[in-house]
Amino acid sequence: MRSIEAVSFEGVELDFSWAFEKENTRYLTHDIHRYPAKFIPQLARRIIETYSVPGDYVLDPFCGSGSALLEARLVGRSAIGVDINPVAVLVSRVKADPIPPVELSEEWKEFNEGTSPLFSWNHVEPYVIDSTTLKNWIPEKQLRDLGKIFRLIKDVENERFRNFLLVAFSNIQKDCSWWLMKSIKPCHDWDKRVPDARTTFIKQIKKMINKNNQLWETLKDTNTQLKVYESDARVLSTVFDEKVALSVFSPPYVTSYEYVDIHKLSIIWLKEIPELNDIKREFIGSTVSNPSDIVIESPTALKIVEELEKKDKSLSSSVQTYFQDMQKSFEEIDKKLLPEGFVSIVIGNTKLRRVEIKNAEVFAEMFRALRYGEEKIVKRPIPSKNLPSTRDAKTGRFTSVTTNHVKAYPHEYILIFKKGR
């Protein structure tokens, strides 16, 4: 590492060519599962096509729903994804790696009509997870029916098809609960007419089969590979052996453990656990009880932590841990990148306790310390994004309230760095 000066992107002008406001972002399998802050497919593809060539490996160490992984394969690159969120890993594997249509048709027919038949629905014993959270969010009938579907899925031997079913099962959790449909963050809607779980599940499966088959036809002649790992970007170099030409990602924000709340119903089923406290502790930025000895190589980050400490010591400690975790992740990415390879980060700045969190500047300083050069800095407007649109002005956390709030992401940055400059 080397000491560096603070950087500022205040003078960077908006580049509307990166907005993709009128583009279709739901083609192929991109919309098989809800996920907050999805990569715009066209944005990911433009980066991948510009900074890698066919045959390269492309890495997304915070792969989310797998949009960058899918786009990499669509343009002839192999893709490696890593995420600590089990929902992200599941969705990415299904979204970016289609099942041959004949195989999928046969498996669905057997599941729907054969040895584990939905037509003998009344005889299926529900799988029960003794979770207060599930009971507080899902009506009794829907919870029982979801338990039946989960029981049937667990009996499926074909792992790829089982994952396919689990993605459908995960995606209907919001529909089949009291979750307010227009809210990404957990918010009850006690007046909601919660639909029948079995009918909703079958409808989701049929949609996914159609999308899967379209993707299969698109990718059937490709020689690309997909590898997705449920792991931690902070130990990335221990996860896989390949070297990559490009790492492209949109990293978690300071309150990244909020993603657990967004996916809590699915995670409880997938992990078969009653509550989520232990899962939250694993997410980047949330391990304040285990402070790191990493020295933050960013003067901007150190200033942010210092300013927050004057207002909220606990929050300051959390932000410090977040920056340490991100720096560790960047060091791990560096170990997997080929000489003269590229890193592309899509990140926005925000505020906590009225302190501006300049993520873009902090990350640029961290990569300068790793001896990367800035290839390109883009400031893109965000016409719409699948995130709550406001943050509480006091805490900085996502909120649905309409008073005392600030716009969360009016724009974001695309940072391109080249190794070895």
Instruction: Give the model confidence (pLDDT) of 51-110 as tens digits.
Output: 999 999 999 999 999 999 999 999 999 999 999 999 999 999 999 999 999 999 999 999
The Cα 318–Cα 275 span in angstroms is 22
The overall average pLDDT reported for the chain is 90
Q: 402 or 101: whose pLDDT is higher?
A: 101
User: Quick check: 289 pLDDT over 60?
Assistant: no
Predicted confidence (pLDDT) at residue 36 exceeds the cutoff of 70? yes
Predicted local distance difference test score (pLDDT) of residue 291: 56
In this predicted structure, what is the pLDDT of residue 405? 44
Average pLDDT score over residue span 311-329: 93
Average pLDDT over residues 199-203: 95
Q: Specify the pLDDT at position 281.
A: 75
Q: How confident is the model at residue 257 (pLDDT cuts 50, 70, 90)?
A: low
In a domain, 158, yes or no: yes
Domain coverage including residue 122: 101-198
Q: Is residue 154 part of a domain?
A: yes
* Section 266-284 average pLDDT: 86
3-class DSSP state of 151: helix
Whether 160 shows a pLDDT value over 80: the answer reads yes
- How far apart (Å, rounded) are the C-alpha atoms in residues 378 and 77? 24
Question: Quick check: 213 pLDDT over 50?
Answer: yes
Q: Domain for residue 174, yes or no? A: yes
Angle subtended at Cα 372 by Cα 367 and Cα 377, rounded to the nearest 5 degrees: 75
pLDDT > 60? residue 402: no
pLDDT value for 206: 96
Q: Can you tell me the distance from the alpha carbon of 411 to that of 360, in angstroms, rounded to the nearest whole number? A: 11
Judged against a pLDDT cut of 80, whether residue 401 lies above it is answered with: no
- Domain membership flag for residue 116: yes
Q: What residue has token string 């969360």? A: 408
Query: Which H or E element spans position 107?
Result: helix 101-113
Say which residue the tokens 């050069």 belong to: 373
Portion of the chain with pLDDT greater than 90, in percent: 76
Number of folded domains that form the chain: 1
148 found inside a domain: yes
The helix (run of H) or strand (run of E) holding residue 379 is strand 372-381
pLDDT of amino acid 390? 46
CB of 32 within 8 A of CB of 207? yes
For residues 77 and 49, what is the distance between their CA atoms, to the nearest angstrom? 9
Model confidence at 256, pLDDT cuts 50, 70, 90, reads low
pLDDT band at 421 (very low <50, low <70, confident <90, very high): low
CA–CA gap between residue 71 and residue 45 (Å, rounded): 6
Interval 209-221 mean pLDDT:
97
